[in-house]
Amino acid sequence: MTRQLQRVLFLFLLTASTLAQGGEAARIIRDTQLKAEPFSDAATLQELKGNTQVTKESRKGGWYQIKVGDKAGWVRMSVLRLGTEQAQGSSGLGSTLQFLQTGRSGASDVTVATGLRGLDAADLTNATPDHKALEKFKQHKISPKAAKKFASTAKLKAHKMAYVKIEQHQPESSQESDGGGVEEFFGE
């Protein structure tokens, strides 16, 4: 296959997946720039304010392609949250409070089919340990060799990468919308 053909096919697939996914309601959580391409040094199309409602079209690495008004462009994954404000929390307390709210539901709201079982805290505290099921579970075994073969059929290549050390002084109560996010430590 020629390089050009590959390129055309790639663009086609990208467009097709974008169309298939359709837009998804999303929100910009802090001031940022709408970029022409998914790169930090790409041209800036527009300044975006925190709390702007947008439509997410697709994702490429750590960038989301979005539509805002009549413009389309790219923003960093870290400045966007899927869904509407009501569906999101910035802290553990926030998530507790959300249960008391009666706002609109999130864009990806999935209706849970009835009649199927859930799992709550009481199920765990009242559980009778099932050692028979444990023995059955112990039969779940995949050899490293089989796992490597499984990876290579999908062209997954393992490589070394160090864990990322972070600054010890994380802001404990960073708000999603106040621009005081942890990125500032790294000057994104």
Partner 1 sequence: MMQQRFISKTSILGATLLCLSLLLPVNVSAGGLFGGMLGGDGNGNEIDIGRLFKSAKQAFGEVDEEQEAKVGDEAIAVLLGAVPLLDNDPIQRYVNKVGRWVALQTERPKLPWRFGVLDTTDVNAFAAPGGSVFITRGLLERMGSEAELAGALAHETVHVLKRHHLKAVQKSARLDLVVMFAETRVGDEDRENLNKIASGFKELYARGLDKGDEFEADRMGVVIATRAGYDPYGLPSVLQTLGAMNPKDGALALLFKTHPAPGKRLDMLSVLFDKLDPYATQPQLQQRFQKQLAALKKNP
- Footprint on residues 164-183 left by partner 1 (CB under 8 A): 164, 166-167, 170, 174, 176, 181-183
Distances (CA, A) of 133 to 76, 137, 138: 44, 6, 9
Determine the Cα angle at 125 with ends 123 and 130, to 5°: 75
Residue of 110, 168, 169, 179 interacting with partner 1 (CB under 8 A): 110
**Least Å distance between CB 138 and partner 1?**
7
Distance between CA atoms of residues 34 and 138, nearest Å:
50
Q: Does 105 bind partner 1 (CB under 8 A)?
A: yes
Taking the CA atoms of residue 40, residue 45, residue 49 and residue 51 in that order, the dihedral angle to the nearest 10 degrees is: -90
Is residue 22 a contact point for partner 1 (CB under 8 A)? no
Q: Which stretch binds partner 1 (CB under 8 A): 4-12, 43-51, 67-75, 126-134?
A: 126-134
- Strands (DSSP E) found in 14-134: 24-28, 32-35, 44-48, 53-60, 63-68, 71-76, 80-82
The footprint of partner 1 on residues 63-82 (CB under 8 A) is: 76-78, 81-82
Q: Which of 62, 103, 71 is nearest to 84 (CA)?
A: 103
In the chain, the amino acid numbered 136 is K
- The residue (of 3 and 70) whose beta carbon lies closer to partner 1 is 3
Decide: is 146 part of the binding site for partner 1 (CB under 8 A): yes
Does 5 engage in binding with partner 1 (CB under 8 A)? Answer: no
The footprint of partner 1 on this chain (CB under 8 A) covers a number of residues equal to: 85
The residue within the footprint of partner 1, chosen from 59, 67, 72, 179 (CB under 8 A), is: 59
